[in-house]
């Protein structure tokens, strides 16, 4: 493994504390991932990326910055990467998924804030994640209250632009999002010194659509009776999608899909007969949050779909590539992004419809609706989700969890009992 200490030092990181994180990650990764049998060979790429998660990609970003490229950090799937990429910049996801960063966030945020927000703030303020140090500018959004307030705190430490996301889906809201996309364009143009043109936006729309197509292809393969890849592995791939180079990611994911198609033809499966097909719905799982998948897949289940922002909400629906004008492209972007059904919208019946549709497509035996502790939005919507599933006779288990391991054995018992009931 290459030595990245000099880079981390130059990024102003707290090396001593960061060393502690570097010590625990390989163990966690080994336990969850390398312990699996019969993994696809093409997972080697993702293993490599994650084994050196604070090295390989950060080094690429730093090298790009040295040639004048700007890096924008994002926290939500509503922020259109296309606009950032069209300005010649790089977009990288920044959500924190480790308990390691939570105490740092709690220094400035109330304890009853969701762990994703606390970890993200802690990762920046404690200087223990290179991605948070590298980003020249953060792009926030007005999705939930916790994030909105977190931007004000982070904004004291790093330049941040906040996109005002409408929370209803009327025609005027879609129009308002179009305006916000245009404002983002102005912001990235100012930061990069480059102009976003019809041509550059056309290219970036195609680039990001191709990433979505690759992820959709991967997900479609999980619909097979012989599931060729574990839910854990797909979760890892989805997490990597947020920060890898989009062109390379697409290429590697299509290569993996070639291998998986062969597996399906040959009847190779990662699950045992009798394993229950589970869909996860709810809050996103930022890297390295692998806890729930690990528990489900070692308790007689196989995760075949995630209706989350580290799942279908990230890649479903393409941006229309046939716009002939710049205005048309921006309209197409607004339309596509406003098609995502996050619990921050009201009403949000589209999400229940999505879950019912996905449950059918992926032939699921049961749904686990997961909520990150203190996420009020998804917690409250859980009532409607679970009622909708019960009405459709789909077994559903609602759980709430955080980034600690303290509830792991309790979760194992509850999930085990749910699985037996299916």
- Would you tell me which residues interact with ligand BJ8 (CB under 6 A)? 76-78, 114, 116-117, 143-144, 146-147, 283-284, 309, 340, 342, 344, 372, 375, 377-378
Shortest distance (Å) from residue 187 CB to ligand BJ8: 19
Cβ distance to ligand BJ8 smaller for residue 76 or 270: 76
- 3-state helix, strand, coil split of the chain in percent (to 5) is 55, 10, 35
Shortest distance (Å) from residue 322 CB to ligand BJ8: 26
Shortest distance (Å) from residue 199 CB to ligand BJ8: 29
Number of other CB atoms surrounding residue 390 within 10 Å: 11
Cβ distance to ligand BJ8 smaller for residue 40 or 97: 97
Cβ distance to ligand BJ8 smaller for residue 8 or 290: 290
3-state secondary structure at position 116: helix
Q: Residue 404 and residue 131: Cα distance in Å, rounded?
A: 22
To the nearest 10°, report the CA torsion of 74, 78, 79, 83: 150
Cβ distance to ligand BJ8 smaller for residue 265 or 380: 380
Shortest distance (Å) from residue 145 CB to ligand BJ8: 8
b (16+ CB within 10 A) / e for 136-152:
bbbbbbbbbebbebbbe
Shortest distance (Å) from residue 41 CB to ligand BJ8: 32
Cβ distance to ligand BJ8 smaller for residue 287 or 342: 342
Cβ distance to ligand BJ8 smaller for residue 167 or 409: 167
Shortest distance (Å) from residue 283 CB to ligand BJ8: 4
b (16+ CB within 10 A) / e for 314-340:
bbbbbbeeebeebeebbbbbbebbbeb
For residue 68, what are the contacts with CB-CB under 8 A and spacing of at least 6? none
Shortest distance (Å) from residue 376 CB to ligand BJ8: 7
Q: Residue 230 and residue 40: Cα distance in Å, rounded?
A: 9
Look up tokens 């229940």; give the residue: 352
**Token reading at 310:** 């580290």
DSSP secondary structure of 189-232: HHHHS----HHHHHHHHHHHHHHHHHHHHHHHHTTSSS--S-HH
Q: Is the distance from CB of 308 to CB of 281 less than 8 angstroms?
A: yes
Cβ distance to ligand BJ8 smaller for residue 275 or 379: 379
Shortest distance (Å) from residue 374 CB to ligand BJ8: 7
For residue 413, what are the contacts with CB-CB under 8 A and spacing of at least 6? none
Cβ distance to ligand BJ8 smaller for residue 117 or 396: 117
Q: Is the distance from CB of 281 to CB of 385 less than 8 angstroms?
A: yes
């Amino acid at each position: 493994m290459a030595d990245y200490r000099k880079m981390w030092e130059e990024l102003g990181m707290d090396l001593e504390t960061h060393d502690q994180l570097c010590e625990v990650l390989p163990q966690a990764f080994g336990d969850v991932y390398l312990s699996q049998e019969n993994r696809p060979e093409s997972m080697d790429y993702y293993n490599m990326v994650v084994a050196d998660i604070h090295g390989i990609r950060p080094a690429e970003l730093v090298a790009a910055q040295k040639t004048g490229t700007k890096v924008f950090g994002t926290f939500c799937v509503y922020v259109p990467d296309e606009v950032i990429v069209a300005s010649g910049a790089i977009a990288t996801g920044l959500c924190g998924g480790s308990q390691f960063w939570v105490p740092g966030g709690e220094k400035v945020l109330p304890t009853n804030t969701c762990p994703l927000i606390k970890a993200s703030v802690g990762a920046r303020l404690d200087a223990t994640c290179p991605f948070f140090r590298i980003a020249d500018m953060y792009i926030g959004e007005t999705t939930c209250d916790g994030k909105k307030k977190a931007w004000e705190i982070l904004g004291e430490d790093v330049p941040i632009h906040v996109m005002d996301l409408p929370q209803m889906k009327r025609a005027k809201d879609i129009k308002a999002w179009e305006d916000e996309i245009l404002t983002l364009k102005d912001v990235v143009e100012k930061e990069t010194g480059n102009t976003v043109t019809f041509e550059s936006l056309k290219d970036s729309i195609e680039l990001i659509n191709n990433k979505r197509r690759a992820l959709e292809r991967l997900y479609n393969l999980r619909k097979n009776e012989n599931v060729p890849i574990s839910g854990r592995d797909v979760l890892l791939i989805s997490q990597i999608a947020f920060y890898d180079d989009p062109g390379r990611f697409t290429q590697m994911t299509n290569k993996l899909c070639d291998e998986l198609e062969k597996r399906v033809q040959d009847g190779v499966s990662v699950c045992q007969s009798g394993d229950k097909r589970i869909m996860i719905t709810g809050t996103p799982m930022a890297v390295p949050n692998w806890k729930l998948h690990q528990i489900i897949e070692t308790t007689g289940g196989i995760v075949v779909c995630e209706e989350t922002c580290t799942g279908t909400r990230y890649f479903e629906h393409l941006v229309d590539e046939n716009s002939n004008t710049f205005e048309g492209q921006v309209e197409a972007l607004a339309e596509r992004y406003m098609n995502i059904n996050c619990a921050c919208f009201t009403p949000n019946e589209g999400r229940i419809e999505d879950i019912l549709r996905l449950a059918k497509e992926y032939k699921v035996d049961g749904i686990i609706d997961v909520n990150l502790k203190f996420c009020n939005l998804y917690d409250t919507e859980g009532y409607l989700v679970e009622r909708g599933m019960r009405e459709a006779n789909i077994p559903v288990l609602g759980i709430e969890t955080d980034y600690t391991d303290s509830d792991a054995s309790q979760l194992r018992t509850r999930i085990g009992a749910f699985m037996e009931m299916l």
